[in-house]
Homo-oligomer: A and B are copies of this chain.
Amino acid sequence: MDRDHAKNGDSLSQLPSGVALSWGIVKPSRRGPKGELSIPKIVNAAIEIADRDGLAAVSMSRVAQSLGFTTMSLYRYITSKEDLLVLMQDTICNIPIPPEEAGKPWREEMKEYVWACVGVFQKHPWFGDIPITGVPLTPGNLLVIDWMLRVMKDFPLNDFEKMSFVLLISSYARSVGLISRDMDSAVRAGASPEAFSGFGYGDALRQLVSPDRFPNLHPLVQSGAYTEEVENPISNDLEFGLERILDGIEHYVNEKQRLGRQ
């Protein structure tokens, strides 16, 4: 038991400090004044600033200032700015997970997941600016993975196949989220009345993308299809890609089931 305890303490303390904080691992303080600040207060203040002015606006001094404290006071709660970013990320990823429902089609639920992720990107455009450092380790992220595993509970697949699908879907969700976000911000920026037809870089590309150097891209640039100057609402575009991925998953599961039966 002693060894167990030591081992436990060790393996937990080997976690990146931000990850440890996200799990609520803090050494309890027995003496000294009660902290006036708190990690949630700091994280929420940072999120508010990022929502309003972007991730670049989140500096330790700005966060502290918005709370009425000095810059260095924050370092009594987190060890570095990196911690803060981890905590911000985990906080906004904590989306409500729909309760298990008996006959719900798995395709619907995976779509629900992707659009929920996109929603996070739209609510918090800075989300995509936080670099991914590795495998998800924080509780908010893991709850979402747990959800996706629940969806695939009855698939005739092993754990690794399921994890591959989680990876596939979540990668696509991130991509879609980033694109949606950029689209949103472009719309917000180009909402001025005259900026409609000549907006974007279509004209410039039409000069630069020559038919000899870019034989296959050239017609798409000329027609304006590349720069989306013509119909084709992007939401359909992203849904379209998702349907292809789900088709691919479905095909694999069916094939596996077929092989299992015979």
Binding site for B on A (CB under 8 A): 7-8, 11-12, 14-15, 19, 23, 128-129, 131-135, 137, 139, 142-143, 145-147, 149-150, 153, 159-165, 167-168, 171-172, 174-176, 178-179, 182, 186, 201, 203-205, 207-209, 213-217, 219-220, 223, 225-228, 232, 237, 240-241, 243-249, 251-252
| Cβ–Cβ < 8 Å partners of A132 in chain B | 178, 182
Question: Are A23 and B208 touching (Cβ within 8 A)?
Answer: yes
Question: Are B214 and A143 touching (Cβ within 8 A)?
Answer: yes
Alpha-carbon gap, A146 to B215, bound state (A): 7
Residue of B nearest to A220 (CB): B159
Extra contacts besides A12-B208, A171-B241 (18): CB < 8 Å:
A8-B207, A12-B204, A12-B207, A14-B201, A134-B186, A135-B227, A135-B228, A137-B205, A139-B208, A142-B214, A142-B217, A146-B214, A163-B220, A163-B226, A167-B175, A171-B171, A172-B172, A247-B247
Question: Are A168 and B244 touching (Cβ within 8 A)?
Answer: yes
Q: A164 and B240 in contact (CB under 8 A), knowing A145-B217, A146-B217, A227-B135?
A: yes
Question: Are A150 and B216 touching (Cβ within 8 A)?
Answer: yes
Alpha-carbon gap, A236 to B186, bound state (A): 38
Question: Are B247 and A146 touching (Cβ within 8 A)?
Answer: no
Alpha-carbon gap, A149 to B129, bound state (A): 29
| Cβ–Cβ < 8 Å partners of A7 in chain B | 203
| Cβ–Cβ < 8 Å partners of A207 in chain B | 8, 11-12
Alpha-carbon gap, A11 to B72, bound state (A): 47
Question: Are B216 and A149 touching (Cβ within 8 A)?
Answer: yes
Least CB distance, A231 to chain B, in whole angstroms? 8
| Cβ–Cβ < 8 Å partners of A226 in chain B | 135, 163
| Cβ–Cβ < 8 Å partners of A145 in chain B | 217
| Cβ–Cβ < 8 Å partners of A219 in chain B | 159
Residue of B nearest to A204 (CB): B11
Question: Are B237 and A164 touching (Cβ within 8 A)?
Answer: yes
